[in-house]
Structure 1
Amino acid sequence: MDEVLVRAVGVADVGALQELIEADPGYTERITGCPPGEADAQSLLLMRPEGVEEDAKVVLGAFVGDRLVAVVDLIRGTRRSGRCLSGCFRLHSNQQGRGYGRTAYALAERFVEDTWPEIGTLRLAVVDTNAQVAAGFWERQGFEATGEVRPYVYDKLESTARLYEKQLGE
Structure 2
Amino acid sequence: MDELVLRPIGPGDVDALQELIESDPGYTERITGYPPGPSDAQSLLLMRPEDLPEESKVVLGAFVADRLVAVVDLLRGFPNDQTAFIGLLEVHSKHQGLGYGRTTYSLVEQYVGTTWPEVRTLRLAVVDTNADVATGFWRRQGFEPTGEERPYRYDKLESVARLYEKPLPEQSGS
For the criterion TM > 0.5, the same-fold answer is: yes
Identity of aligned residues (%): 69
Q: Which residue in the other structure is 2:58 paired with? A: 58
Q: Secondary structure at the match of 2:2?
A: coil
Q: Which residue in the other structure is 1:43 paired with? A: 43
CA distance in 2, matches of 1:79, 1:18: 28
CA distance in 2, matches of 1:6, 1:162: 27
Q: CA deviation at 1:79?
A: 2.5
CA distance in 1, matches of 2:78, 2:137: 23
For each residue in 1:67-108, what CA deviation from the matched residue of structure 2 results, as whole angstroms up to 9, or x when unmatched? 100000000111221000001110011101111110011101
Matched, 1:91 2:86: no
Matched, 1:114 2:106: no
Stretches of structure 2 lacking an aligned partner (at least 5 in a row): none
How does the TM-score come out when normalised to structure 2?
0.96
* Ranges of 4+ aligned residues in structure 1 off by more than 2 Å: none
Matched, 1:12 2:12: yes
CA distance in 1, matches of 2:79, 2:72: 19
What is the total number of aligned residue pairs between the two structures? Answer: 170
CA distance in 2, matches of 1:63, 1:107: 11
The answer (yes or no) to whether the contact 1:25–1:36 under 8 Å persists in 2 is yes
CA distance in 1, matches of 2:7, 2:105: 12
Stretches of structure 1 lacking an aligned partner (at least 5 in a row): none
Letter aligned with residue 132 of structure 2: Q
Matched, 1:24 2:7: no
Cα RMSD over matched residues?
0.7
Q: Secondary structure at the match of 1:7?
A: strand
Matched, 1:166 2:166: yes
Q: Secondary structure at the match of 2:51?
A: coil
The answer (yes or no) to whether the contact 1:74–1:84 under 8 Å persists in 2 is yes
How does the TM-score come out when normalised to structure 1?
0.98
For each residue in 1:7-59, what CA deviation from the matched residue of structure 2 results, as whole angstroms up to 9, or x when unmatched? 00021100000000000000000000000000000000111110111111100
